[in-house]
Chains A and B, each alone.
Chain A
Amino acid sequence: MNKKYIALILGLIAINAVIYRLFVLPNVPSATPLSPPSMYHWFGTDINANDIFIKTMVAFVYELVTLLIVLSVIGFLGLISGLLTSALHIRVLKDLFMNFIHYIATLPILLIALFLLIIFGSGFFNAVIILSLSLIPTQALFVYNQLESARNEEFVLAKQSYGMTNTAIYKSHLLPFITKPYISYTLSRMPEIIMMSLALNFLGLGLQEPHPSLGRMLFDGLAFMFSAWWLWVFSTIATIFLFYLLRAFKI
């Protein structure tokens, strides 16, 4: 699907949510817990009589915000750490650092994140920080590998023979050379980030009540799988839509 159409759909959903919040919800007589989808509650209500449509919209936005923050942090810090590792001249230090990154990158990121979240306490910001920290090593590894292969390219050798300094080569040639693959790689991690965010929220270690999250809504829906289908069906659809959206923005 064209990105324009997706932006249009998102815009329509946002306008819809605003209209719903401003004009429909205030006129609702009184919300009853676990009421099925109706004219007043398009997606029904949950056990606390909260409107699921609003909850889904807010949770969707929270997922996008998490994605945006984590992507920016890992994009920036991953690039810096990869660059620094590549620029190290002491072989032993470089080996040590690279092997450490390799080791961290092959560990189960989610388990590490869970471990740290249990120790440091759950919450949105803790989850975002720990999620970012656990994803940085793989980003750095990618930057390092790209830089190492780019350093053997002929244009770099030519610039070195002209007498250009390493800093200048990094700044003017190597960085622009890896920019596109790096952006592409960073964006390709979007499903992973969302999956981990969903997992943390599902376990109740991410966003806390009263803030809704798709993962927690899915977890809450499990107890009402057959008696109140609307508790999980709409959050499931929102999750699928989110992943479809991510695919559209993949470079």
Chain B
Amino acid sequence: MQKPKLIYRLVFLVLTIFIIPALPILIIFIGTSSPEYVIRGTLNMSLTHDVSAWDLYRQAVINLLSFNLGVSTSSGMPVSAEICSGLYESFKTIIPAIIVSYIAGTIIGFYTKEKQSAKNSKYDFIFYIPIIVFSYLFLFLAAKAGIDFTSGIRYVFAIIILSVFPTFVVAKAFTSNYNNLIKNNYYNFHKSLGFANWYIFKKFMIRKFTIEYLSFFENLVIYMFGFIYFVEAPFAINGLGSKFVLGIQRFDYPLIIGFCIVGIIIFSIINIFVDFIKLRIDPRIINK
């Protein structure tokens, strides 16, 4: 079941690459936007609207496949270079934030596993509040406390803010998985044989937890990338998020479209990669 799923995903990824350039061309013919604007703005080509749709499409696909996303109209740099530098800067916060979320979530989940109330706490809504609120509060309080938030400490703030909701997700997953596992027969069987808790955990549960953690890994990455500008814009981190906000303010369409296209392709690849790992380690899939 999983192998065809992987193949389907690869096929859809290839289709996405071919469909994305077709959308701007389609709207030229629907007539919702000016052809010049679409060609020069979103497709980032120096062609006139007299060119046939097929020529436009072919050129756009070739550009996309050769990672030629045009030149940013605000900075004058190639969009691919802008995206790479933005990714490098964003990874400084996203990768530590993912690690922090998993570690902190596991620790919190471990200590709250006994509390049934943790499932439906009335304070849960705090974790769903958009991270922009936390960013503003942190920024304001840091300034009031005399902390120089333009220094390297802004990355620490960004990591903490980005990992609030993911930590909650990991903690919830840990608690529910742990509670399910200790009800399992094999746990009770090994317990009755006198095995220590940590030994049973090490022997049987680590793989199970890894699979569970992997199942929402892509969602956490998507969440962090999706809302990164809520952190980068207030803390003036020159990553993808800040570039994106500036791009929208300055109508820098090549940069915005390039960011969206690269983002969609990167996430598709991450999904395929995660599925591939699951295919290798999940005994339920291996046995099938």
Please determine whether chains A and B interact with each other in the same assembly: yes
Q: Which residues of A contact B (CB under 8 A)?
A: 95-96, 99-100, 102-103, 106-112, 114-116, 118-121, 191, 194-195, 198-199, 202-205, 218-219, 221-222, 225-226, 229, 232, 236, 239-240, 243-244, 246-247
Q: Which of B9, B140, B233, B257 contacts A115 (CB 8 A)?
A: B257
Contact B132 A198 (CB under 8 A): yes
Which chain B positions have C-beta within 8 A of A109? 222, 226
Which chain B positions have C-beta within 8 A of A222? 136, 233-234
Q: Which of A95, A203, A225 contacts B229 (CB 8 A)?
A: A203
- Give chain B nearest CB distance to A92 CB in angstroms: 11
**Which residue of chain B has its CB nearest to the CB of A215?**
B132
Count the B residues whose beta carbon is within 8 Å of the partner chain — how many? 51
What separation, in Å, do the CA atoms of A109 and B226 have in the docked complex?
Answer: 8
Instruction: Judge whether B227 is part of the interface by a CB distance below 8 angstroms.
Output: yes
What separation, in Å, do the CA atoms of A199 and B133 have in the docked complex?
Answer: 12
What separation, in Å, do the CA atoms of A106 and B42 have in the docked complex?
Answer: 25
* 21 pairs of residues in contact across A and B, judged by CB atoms under 8 Å: A99-B8, A103-B12, A103-B268, A107-B264, A107-B268, A109-B222, A110-B227, A111-B263, A111-B264, A114-B260, A119-B24, A191-B125, A199-B226, A204-B248, A222-B234, A225-B140, A229-B140, A239-B129, A243-B125, A247-B125, A247-B128
What separation, in Å, do the CA atoms of A118 and B249 have in the docked complex?
Answer: 12
Supposing A118-B257, A118-B260, A203-B229 touch, asked if A96 and B132 sit within 8 A by C-beta, the answer is no
- Give chain B nearest CB distance to A105 CB in angstroms: 10
Q: Which residues of B contact A (CB under 8 A)?
A: 4-5, 8-9, 12-13, 20, 23-24, 27, 32-33, 38, 42, 122, 124-125, 128-130, 132-133, 136-137, 139-140, 143, 218, 222, 225-227, 229-230, 233-234, 244-245, 248-249, 253, 256-257, 259-261, 263-264, 267-268, 271
What separation, in Å, do the CA atoms of A189 and B222 have in the docked complex?
Answer: 16
What separation, in Å, do the CA atoms of A109 and B248 have in the docked complex?
Answer: 18
Q: Which of B32, B248, B253, B267 contacts A205 (CB 8 A)?
A: B248
Given contacts A114-B256, A119-B23, A239-B129, 20 further A-B contacts (CB under 8 A): A99-B5, A99-B12, A103-B12, A103-B13, A103-B268, A106-B267, A107-B267, A108-B263, A112-B264, A116-B23, A120-B33, A191-B125, A199-B226, A199-B227, A203-B248, A205-B248, A232-B136, A239-B130, A239-B132, A247-B122
Q: Give chain A's interface secondary structure class.
A: helix
What separation, in Å, do the CA atoms of A195 and B229 have in the docked complex?
Answer: 13
Which chain A positions have C-beta within 8 A of B259? 111
Contact A106 B218 (CB under 8 A): yes
What separation, in Å, do the CA atoms of A134 and B20 have in the docked complex?
Answer: 15
Contact A111 B130 (CB under 8 A): no
What separation, in Å, do the CA atoms of A138 and B244 have in the docked complex?
Answer: 26
Q: Which of B12, B143, B233, B261 contacts A226 (CB 8 A)?
A: B143
Q: Give chain B's interface secondary structure class.
A: helix
Which chain A positions have C-beta within 8 A of B5? 99, 102
What separation, in Å, do the CA atoms of A232 and B257 have in the docked complex?
Answer: 29
Which chain B positions have C-beta within 8 A of A111? 225-226, 259-260, 263-264, 267
What separation, in Å, do the CA atoms of A120 and B42 have in the docked complex?
Answer: 11
Q: Which of B9, B128, B245 contacts A203 (CB 8 A)?
A: B245
Which chain A positions have C-beta within 8 A of B140? 225-226, 229
Which chain B positions have C-beta within 8 A of A203? 229, 244-245, 248
What separation, in Å, do the CA atoms of A229 and B144 have in the docked complex?
Answer: 12
- Give chain B nearest CB distance to A142 CB in angstroms: 15
Q: Which of B13, B133, B218, B233 contacts A239 (CB 8 A)?
A: B133
What separation, in Å, do the CA atoms of A96 and B24 have in the docked complex?
Answer: 26
Contact B267 A240 (CB under 8 A): no
Which 5 residue pairs spanning A and B have beta carbons closest together? A99-B8, A247-B125, A115-B260, A191-B128, A110-B226
Contact B137 A236 (CB under 8 A): yes
What separation, in Å, do the CA atoms of A225 and B140 have in the docked complex?
Answer: 7
